[in-house]
Structure 1
Amino acid sequence: MAATKYSQSIKNDSRFFLATALLELLQNTNLEDIKISKLVERAGVSRMAFYRNFETVGDVLRDYFEPKINRLFDDVILQTPVNQKMFAISNFFTEFDSTMKLSIDRHFEYIIRQIFFNNMQRFYQSLEGIDKIPQVNRKYWIGFMSAGVYNIWRDWVMNDKQDSLDDIHDLLGKLQSTTFNSLLEN
């Protein structure tokens, strides 16, 4: 048992070192230009340590960001009162704005977007009354809203947050409630 705990500790340390090194490399290098040999050298781990944990360099980012984003959404889904959920999602934008910019600049936005979409699906599936919308409409509405929320967040960040977060929150709330209510009426 002690060996298992020690092995897990080494595996976790390797993952942490790889993620830290990758985030440092991404400050000046695009994701597609980062080679595994450069990453493991920077992290101070072996190639074997990399391959024990990951298949691609992008997997390191997914492993790093997914738990962080999942935890934020867990808080919104499980602990935030219904009337404050969209505002809590808006707070996510503020917390992850530098990550958004880095992901666009260094070409790993597809990773952040996929994690965000997965969590938005969880968020929308948790809404009160969602089961009243037919399954086929629900699926497309969730995809539509997830993409819309993401694009509003992306534009807001990339335009240096010129509009107030309250205005963005209000817009998202109106879009969500209007489209949701429209589907309920049909």
Structure 2
Amino acid sequence: MKRILFTLLIVAPFCLAAQTTTKTESFTVNGKVKSPVTITLADVKKLKAYNLGDVVITNHLGEVKSTAKNLSGVLLKDVLKDIALDTDQPKLYSEYYFVCRGNDGYKVVYSWNELFNTPIGNSVYLLTEKNQETIQQMKESILMLSSQDERTGRRYLKNLEAITVRRAE
């Protein structure tokens, strides 16, 4: 029993520290782009914001986990539209995809076609307001949400730190 208690006292602080993430103030877009870019909160705030209302966050089974209220956000495709891919051949855009990574290591993937060539692209947001808190006030920012997903929690990303553009091989 003493051994278990000792182990918990020694290991628990490290486990808790590993789960702690810091709020992000910017993120980079890198990878298969002509020039890497850093996007700041100020850059995000310059884009057109949309009112999303309330969005129910569900897990992989479709079970309700929470409701994000009073949401506003900018479209991810508006953030990415001026980023030049490393090709001059538009027919190759279909081979590109975006790996969005939070600072806790969680990753979400969108294809170029999904964002720029389907209705889903009109529902993938970087949140600028949640629960009447601005992006600067939110505990976890930069938040990303695909509001039309059936299981919204799967692509609900907290503390976005990088979007890496890749090309399918």
TM score, norm. by length of structure 2:
0.29
Considering only CA atoms, is the larger Rg found in Structure 1 or Structure 2? 1
Higher relative contact order (CA 8 A, sep 6+): 2
Q: Which structure is higher in strand share?
A: 2
